[in-house]
Structure 1
Amino acid sequence: MTPDLSDLGGWSKLPFFAERYPAIAEAVAEDPRDILPPADQRLAALSLTPSEATRVVILGQDPYPTPGHAHGLAFSVAPDVRPLPRSLNNIFKELHGDLGVERKTGDLRGWARQGVLLLNTVLSVPAGDANGHKNLGWQQLAHEVLSLTSQRPTAYILWGKQAQGLEKYIQPGDHLILRTAHPSPLSARRGFFGSRPFSTVNRWLAEQGQPTIDWNA
């Protein structure tokens, strides 16, 4: 089975897609359970944010396991999802506290189109079984993405210990690396709230001579 990678641009050259992805795609296809997100959305984060356009990287764990929520971008949900997942709701609380932005939906594709890569470290999940595909080998992709993006100055938002554990794959450079607690209700009050990641990223981008991110998009 040779998955179609024609929409991935520069990402398709990562060794992962030749060495690991065919076997993972086959294992996912053979899993009889309802797998989320749908196959045509599984690589949406990479399709929407080309490697050469990536300016900010936000890492998540794995897709939301509730049918109809995940659509291929970390933390993002389909535009009609209500109520929002609790972590995303906390992200929006911090966004409002930081910049006064009040978003209308949980669809973050507007961020992705501005160069914010919203990448989960695992890109598939069986419905109702969070982290159910953590042993398939998806994590190698995140390792290679971090190594590639860090070949030039990039902002990294590492929420929680799992994301922070991948910092070793970021190559040395003039990067912005933000490390705080995860926005999960279990940890958000231990340093996520009040961390002001959105204004910090925009300040850094401006210092780099780059356009800032419209976090309301």
Structure 2
Amino acid sequence: MSTNETLALDAAAQDLLFREAHTVSAFTDEPVSDEQIQAIYDLVKYAPTAFNQQPLRVVLVRTPEARELLVGHLMDGNKAKTSAAPLTAILVADNEFHEELPTQFPAFPGAKDAFFSERSVREGSARLNGALQAAYFLVGVRAAGLAAGPMTGFDAEGINKEFFPEGDHSVLLVVNIGKPAAEDAWFPRGPRLAYDEVVTTV
């Protein structure tokens, strides 16, 4: 039985989300609406997180002034494509996520103080669980028929100070979003490890 037949997701959806999807560097100028981003969020908000903590926060960079500030903190290879992308989002971890736990984890409202009273513990948990949510966000962008260009090539301290001066948020990814350009939108796909190189049974 082929992979296509083994999975519940139909082959077209598998291609859209995985096999035919690429990290995109060049986009068309077609805009990305707030409604599209809301639809993406309303899908990916169901990503699993420990204690249902949901530390991910998304900042949509829409004004020219904010775009210029952000681009100034990117590595040189990421500047031009971010300046030209129809939409850029900053994905960050909220290190004060624990304040939401009494309502978001009603099974144990005391988790806020029992597990996350120390800032260093919250930061580690926010980074891990925020990264899980960020991965779902990228798949959600693909599910919307858009493409994502996630980047980690930036001055994280600079972005944090520029956009989150209160110190409660830590940048995880910068993501360009839009429709891929007709030509040179992505590099050739790199190799992937085979199943037998990754999966073992004990």
Q: Which has the larger radius of gyration?
A: 2
Q: TM-score, normalised by structure 1?
A: 0.28
Which of the pair has the greater relative contact order for Cα pairs under 8 Å at 6+ separation?
A: 2
Structure with greater helix percent: 2
Return the TM-score normalized by structure 2.
0.29
